[in-house]
Amino acid sequence: MGLIHELPVELSNQIAAGEVIERPASVVKELVENAIDAKATQVLITVHQSGLRSIEINDNGVGIAADDVEIAFQPHTTSKISTDHDLFNVKTLGFRGEALASIASVSKLTVVTSVDGKSAVKAEFSGNSLLKKETHARSKGTTITVEDLFFNTPARLKYVKSLHTELNKIVDIVDRLAMGHPEISFRLIHEGKDLVWTSGNDNLQQTIAGIYGRTIASHMYAFENSDADYQIKGFFSKPDTTRSNRSYISLILNGRYIRNYQLANAVIRGYGSKLMIGRFPIAVIDITLDPSLVDINVHPTKQEVRLTNEGHIGDLISEGIRQKLSTKNLIPDAVKNL
Ligand code: ADP
Ligand code: MG
């Protein structure tokens, strides 16, 4: 008899979860991205014990139809893409259809969701098994509550760092998601304390003020540098307002926060010799391009992407910053509207 057999679905989901659900902040990222894709205008994130006890994401998006609730939690199920053409033209943050199944496989999860703002469905899962499904009432949108993350994967739980570190990672990901979506109001509450709040009034500089504070935001310059294929705009700090590492450079590509060493370098390059050695600027760079010019499907968390013409995009960024900094009588732009 052969030795090879198919893995039980719970186990394959846990393995998939190992790729994307590394820590509480990964759950926050995946669920908030789903809320953004669901066209929410308000997203409320409530966490306890740095997300290890519970993470709740409440959105006012389109909701999940009652008939779809169970399938949404199966692996490889999505409403976002259907064909290979779609895969190379992704306009949403999600498309892999993995997150809900993965999260549910390593936690106790409850979803309450309504499409019409009247009737709602409430479903409870534990380690992927559906425990209960009942009717409920709520306003339009979805609330997903994740409790006891990694309760059934002790090795993963051990790998989680201090509560302080895990909370910082959550704040960091909410900050970046919020900067990518100034049109959405985000609120993060930890143990009853407000940690992040953005107004959702579609103004990037006010969103930056909500995240880094008004003082920093009011010392930033706005710039724009676009051509037929790429629109680049954003804010960057004065050369004397710097940090000791490059993590304050946020790159947003079609509404998705990405990490990209070359493009972060392009920001630094734009300052020429105006930055002190070992100091890094604060910047938020918003890049818009045709989705067919970027391959998002290179990394499970999609924070690393493959870009056609990365060098050219970098040049647009550094040139835009360089030109702005060489303007005579330069006044920070954000001051006016804050
Ligand atoms: P993906 O986001 O890659 O499609 P997920 O597992 O994260 O995969 O979600 C599966 C599906 O569940 C989504 O395609 C979407 O249709 C639905 N869904 C998940 N979260 C929400 C939400 N907050 N609001 C509305 N629909 C949602
Ligand atoms: Mg998703």
- What domains are there in the chain, each with its CATH number? 9-197 (3.30.565.10), 214-337 (3.30.230.10)
**Three-state DSSP class for residue 137:** strand
Which is nearest to 282 in space by CA: 319, 334, 327? 334
Model confidence over 291-328: pLDDT tens digits? 999 988 888 888 888 998 999 999 999 999 999 999 87
Residue type, 217: A
Mean pLDDT of 70-74: 95
Q: Are 106 and 148 in contact (CB under 8 A)?
A: no
Could you tell me the distance, in angstroms and rounded to a whole number, from the CA of residue 337 to the centre of ligand 1? 36
**Ligand 1 within 6 A of 56 CB?**
no
| pLDDT score, position 13 | 86
How many other CB atoms are there within 10 angstroms of residue 328's CB atom? 4
Could you tell me the distance, in angstroms and rounded to a whole number, from the CA of residue 279 to the centre of ligand 1? 40
Q: Is the pLDDT score of 337 beyond 60?
A: no
Q: Which residues surround ligand 2, an ion (CB under 5 A)?
A: 34, 94, 99
pTM of the model: 0.94
Q: Is the complex ipTM higher than 0.85?
A: yes
Mean pLDDT of the chain: 94
Residue of minimum CA distance from atom 25 in ligand 1: 63
| pLDDT score, position 297 | 82
Mean pLDDT of 263-287: 97
| pLDDT score, position 336 | 55
Model confidence over 135-170: pLDDT tens digits? 999 999 999 999 999 999 988 888 888 999 999 999
